[in-house]
Structure 1
């Protein structure tokens, strides 16, 4: 019996989510992850080696006391983000050519990002209460989203995750180029996991660049869990998820130690961060098994649309607003409530006034560019396989020989994702 699933021709897959394949529960989890990061930066961050680089200009525990300790662990919303990203990218790229995959990533990431870079720069230039603006040439480099590779700092520190996402997309584009199938995703997950382990020990710069040994396990887990969602669970897929979870736990422990150092709070334990990372895995596993398929509240889709702008806008501009309110006598919890609400409203405005108008125009331009590229250089036709010579027996594959031969018989279908 093959470890790769086989389905009847014309089968639509093991599970279908409602509304044309969109999983609304993922939108809810994305906004939850974004709010976790927001409250980490607003309530749990600040103090230690650089107390001035925070919303309050002093250690967070002096402002929020007991509440600052739980908030110090909420950076793990990033872990949930990354697992969701692997799940959704696999879902949304199925059956798509690589040109469409690249186009979808560009029109999804760049309009809100360009606006956020320029708006954040303007805010910290006019009110440098917490952050100082970067030189204009470095701001221009940030607009490419490839600036980290050039050694240029981020306009806003949260952009570091976008650099990880871009490298994930670059690697996964190879799978999309070849055609997304069950066995190719499994091979990709396996190779990437091994590469990450090797890069962590060899410290080869090029391998480290692509392997991303620190965070690749989250993306791999998301990819494998989408296969669970699409085809059903089996030991191989849960083995991939289990290995990824172990690697993610190791990263979580190290990152929490780094956070504790920055906060100047070495007494903070690491187990709450490990628990939150584990919960992230369990929640997406539940989604993969179909436990959230009946959750189709309309407000989740609306909330999911705010996630990306909220993440881009909240730190530098939010800290500036919090510092201004705090310095003028506003109570800390009131300031957090006001600024968080303001960031959500600003996120809706960015979605409504920036993403919605620019996305279709950018999509049209990229579609024309890709069509022109395909028309200018058509791919050469593959030569037909030669017929066997007379008297030569064709190779016959026996059932036992095909037992471990990867095969993907699921017909490609486009399933739009929320990411």
Structure 2
């Protein structure tokens, strides 16, 4: 199936990023002692800000959805190159910009050491014993682990079984509710990735009883995990994160994706959708440490909402600039680099002697099975 641009998906990603930004600027920043002022958005606004971090949950569903729509027919090297081009150049720029700001304005997050900066280039600095320059980078390890498993299916010539693999993971997680499995750092968001894969298959070939049952299972496991996380966050931060609200947000994400699989939703046209969707990634990477540092140093306590609005608009504008210049204008550079450093070396090694067959078998097996 050819890649398609779903405008509702781009809007959903952007709104999820705004929810995370709302959480950091209007709740987490003051609670963690980073901002010198408190923000009052009214009862409903404060509640929304406190639970804005749940926008990350939507990101993971989107990730599973996007990968399942585009992965079929790709060689191992092509898949790795596309993930590299999409993630690493923008991460490197945004991480470097964050490191620069935290070095010039070391309070409250910096300064950044040379070793920490170099380790963060890998996107997983914890492996080298260094902390993340920005805490929001924690999601990247989950994404990379998910991509690694999809990559393994491609190498094995079994990418057409991605949906079956997602269902097996869901069954294992459901069984693991009675074991420590669900408390591991890399499995606590997996029902969301699996749900994204299932929704993509629904989008491609329609509903089936197995998909309905699997999505109900995914929702059930996701609800258990999100309620657990709400309770853990409440205990850690000393402020109640309502598990009921967290559960309803999770249900809303699933309902939204169900609605989005309809033909009318697929044809929906929204203004500037592609630009907003592409800006989501740099927006997520830039907004936290840079935004909170600017607010901590320059925002007058008498005008908190005006200051937050100004910084938010500036970060959104900067994200759009990153997309226009760094991603689009330099796209040929990143494509060349990805082919040179990622695609060709991987395909030269793997496709010469793939496990379980010849070079052509991987491509033949990478066809959809309905």
User: Shorter-chain-normalised TM-score: which range?
Assistant: 0.7 to 0.9
Residue from 127, 147, 155 that aligns with 2:125: 147
Match of 2:262 in 1: 289
- Which is helix-richer, 1 or 2? 2
Report whether the alignment pairs 1:339 with 2:311: yes
Runs of 5+ consecutive residues of structure 2 not aligned to the other structure: 359-363
Quote how far apart the aligned CAs of 1:375 are: 5.1
Runs of 5+ consecutive residues of structure 1 not aligned to the other structure: 1-11, 384-407, 414-419
RMSD: 2.9
Q: Secondary structure at the match of 2:66?
A: helix
Match of 2:13 in 1: 30
Match of 1:230 in 2: 204
* Separation of aligned partners in 1, 2:26 and 2:75: 44
Report whether the alignment pairs 1:220 with 2:203: no
Alignment of 1:15-94 (within 5 A): 21-46=4-29, 51-52=32-33, 54=34, 56-57=35-36, 60=38, 63-64=40-41, 66=43, 67-94=45-72
Which 10-residue stretch deviates more, 148-157 or 301-310?
148-157
Match of 1:163 in 2: 141
* Separation of aligned partners in 1, 2:345 and 2:305: 55
Report whether the alignment pairs 1:121 with 2:93: no
Deviations 1:144-163 (A, max 9, x none): 01223344211101000111
Q: Is the 8 A contact 1:221 1:244 kept in 2?
A: yes
TM-score, normalised via structure 2 length: 0.87
Q: Secondary structure at the match of 1:292?
A: helix
Distance change >3 Å, CA 180–CA 363, structure 1 → 2: farther
Quote how far apart the aligned CAs of 1:304 are: 0.8
Quote how far apart the aligned CAs of 1:31 are: 0.4
Deviations 1:328-367 (A, max 9, x none): 3551110111011000111012112222244321221332
Quote how far apart the aligned CAs of 1:281 are: 1.0
Match of 1:398 in 2: none
Report whether the alignment pairs 1:104 with 2:82: yes
Report whether the alignment pairs 1:174 with 2:152: yes
* Separation of aligned partners in 2, 1:315 and 1:73: 16
Q: Is the 8 A contact 1:76 1:276 kept in 2?
A: yes
Which 10-residue stretch deviates more, 216-225 or 349-358?
349-358
Which 10-residue stretch deviates more, 149-158 or 310-319?
149-158
